[in-house]
């Protein structure tokens, strides 16, 4: 279908999604929405960035009565960030309807959530743990629920939430529509489908292999102590509008973020040790383009959907193969082209083999930029850095009362010198060439990988 009118969507919702920038339905929207409007259970296997929120959001809003008792829709998500994002999308879609929606999640004020639930909401979005707490304490009444959505079910499985999900499902009315969305459907998810869904229709948009086909993937061989300096050099050449840099640990995220900040980049960190409120503000600033580089761990970044992200950098090779697909799937969204760069040390090469087998594609090795290329791009790189460095606003804590705050006395500040990331040795002489791909036979590549450069 070429337009949303053909899907049988109400004029109020059409007006809301048009203001959100929706023009024509994506493939998954065209295929899935009619089944939901026909009251069918649905399993959707589709990559991140294909417009899944609208797939369940539009029919739920159209098929629920905002004047009816109790919540009629429940959406379970793996992370707080995704819960908030889904709820924000629903609010925009229902702008011209009478629906009220809310999000519930850990580290959020439970009393505030109870007040919202008591006011009467049509749809609740939340993480499994917090949703189950509200059900257990009878804050969330489930007897009127007509819709259950399990969003990013494979991520919920990875994060250990499936037992909680099952406990929640057992409290819900059996006469409901159940919608499950997942990039992959492992055996544990299939069991949920068998046990709790009624003759579900399965829609598979793309396989895991096709997910990465629209993304240009390259890797660079380097030493561990070269990572920071080569990250800086590659950023000078790439100059992305928006870039996510993934590290495997929270410590690495902080170290890389501080390094980039000292180099003059507009950058922020995102990981589980950062307070929830600050994480939310950081995500919002990044979406609004107030800074270019977001350094994050996998868990903290799950569920963050950012259109127009042109580059993903795997500073560390992910240990989990599915994490690679989820990381790079944040670029090349909704049919746009994207690029993924991975730093590979000698210790990482076997993990890279496993990832290539998993995605069914060969990741191309590229040459690091030469000094000539760096010098050629230096002036433009400085302009690019400055274009965002003034936009980001520091997060200032709000006073806890209306009392006048005492002014601190001015004292000389003695700052400790910034911590270095690691011992950075001078880089090895680089070839005088642009960032281009070496064309090698498969035999040559295998020999190179086994015996090194």
Q: pLDDT at residue 329 above 90?
A: no
Contact 364, 356 (CB under 8 A): no
Instruction: Please give the pLDDT value at position 452.
Output: 60
In the chain, what are the domain boundaries? 4-206, 210-389+431-451
pLDDT in tens, 206-254: 644 455 667 899 999 999 999 999 999 999 999 998 899 999 999 999 9
Q: pLDDT at residue 395 above 60?
A: no
Calculate ∠ Cα 46-49-51, nearest 5°. 80
Q: How confident is the model at residue 322 (pLDDT cuts 50, 70, 90)?
A: confident
Q: How confident is the model at residue 331 (pLDDT cuts 50, 70, 90)?
A: confident
Contact 156, 165 (CB under 8 A): yes
- Write the DSSP assignment of 340-395 as a string of letters: EEEEE-GGGHHHHHHHHHHHTSPPEEBPPPPHHHHHHHHHHHHHHHHHHHTT----
Instruction: Please give the pLDDT value at position 156.
Output: 87
Closest CA to 159 of 80, 95, 261: 80
**Would the CATH topology of 4-206 be identical to that of 210-389+431-451?**
yes
Assign domain 4-206 to a CATH class: alpha beta
Instruction: Please give the pLDDT value at position 288.
Output: 85
Instruction: Please give the pLDDT value at position 389.
Output: 66
Helix then strand then coil, % of the chain, to nearest 5: 45, 15, 45
pLDDT in tens, 161-203: 999 999 999 999 999 999 999 877 888 999 999 999 999 999 9
Q: pLDDT at residue 424 above 70?
A: no
Q: How confident is the model at residue 350 (pLDDT cuts 50, 70, 90)?
A: confident
DSSP state, 318?
-
Q: pLDDT at residue 362 above 50?
A: yes
% the chain with pLDDT above 70: 80
Strand order in the sheet with 293-296: 267-270, 293-296, 243-246, 311-314, 338-344, 215-221, 364-365
CATH domain 210-389+431-451 topology: Rossmann fold (3.40.50)
**What token pair was written down for 98?**
């009478």
């Amino acid at each position: 279908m070429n337009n949303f009118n053909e899907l049988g969507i109400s004029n109020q919702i059409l007006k809301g999604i048009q203001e959100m920038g929706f023009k024509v339905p994506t493939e998954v929207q065209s295929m899935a929405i009619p089944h939901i409007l026909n009251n069918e259970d649905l399993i959707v296997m589709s990559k991140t960035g294909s417009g899944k929120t609208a797939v369940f959001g539009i029919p739920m809003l159209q098929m629920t009565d905002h004047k009816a008792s109790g919540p009629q829709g429940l959406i379970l998500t793996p992370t707080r960030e995704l819960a908030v994002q889904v709820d924000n999308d629903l609010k925009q879609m229902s702008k011209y309807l009478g629906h009220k929606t809310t999000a519930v999640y850990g580290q959020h004020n439970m009393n505030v959530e109870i007040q919202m639930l008591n006011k009467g909401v049509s749809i609740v979005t939340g993480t499994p743990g917090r949703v189950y707490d509200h059900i257990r304490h009878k804050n969330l009444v489930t007897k009127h629920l007509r819709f259950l959505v399990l969003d990013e079910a494979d991520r919920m499985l990875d994060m250990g939430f499936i037992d909680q999900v099952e406990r929640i499902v057992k409290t819900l009315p059996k006469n409901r529509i159940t919608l499950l969305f997942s990039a992959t459907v492992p055996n544990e998810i299939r069991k949920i489908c068998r046990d709790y869904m009624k003759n579900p229709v399965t829609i598979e948009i793309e396989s895991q292999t096709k997910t990465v086909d629209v993304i240009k993937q390259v890797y660079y061989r380097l030493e561990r102590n070269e990572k920071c300096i080569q990250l800086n050099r590659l950023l000078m050449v790439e100059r992305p509008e928006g870039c996510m840099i993934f590290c495997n640990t929270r410590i690495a995220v902080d170290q890389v973020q501080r390094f980039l900040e000292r180099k003059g980049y507009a950058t922020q960190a995102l990981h589980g040790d950062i307070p929830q409120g600050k994480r939310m503000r950081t995500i919002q600033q990044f979406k609004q383009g107030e800074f270019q580089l977001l350094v994050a761990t996998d868990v903290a970044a799950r569920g963050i959907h950012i259109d127009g992200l042109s580059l993903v950098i795997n500073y560390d090779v992910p240990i989990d193969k599915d994490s690679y697909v989820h990381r790079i799937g944040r670029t090349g969204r909704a049919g746009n082209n994207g690029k993924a760069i991975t730093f590979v040390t000698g210790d990482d090469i076997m993990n890279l083999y496993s990832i290539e087998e998993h995605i069914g594609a060969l990741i191309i090795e590229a040459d690091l930029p030469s000094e000539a290329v760096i010098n050629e791009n230096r002036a433009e790189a400085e302009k690019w850095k400055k274009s965002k460095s003034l936009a980001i606003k520091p997060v200032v804590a709000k006073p806890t009362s209306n009392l006048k705050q005492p002014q601190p006395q001015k004292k000389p500040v003695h700052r400790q010198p910034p911590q270095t990331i690691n011992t950075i040795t001078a880089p090895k002489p680089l070839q005088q060439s642009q960032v281009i791909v070496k064309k090698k036979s498969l035999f040559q590549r295998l020999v190179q990988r086994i015996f090194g450069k």
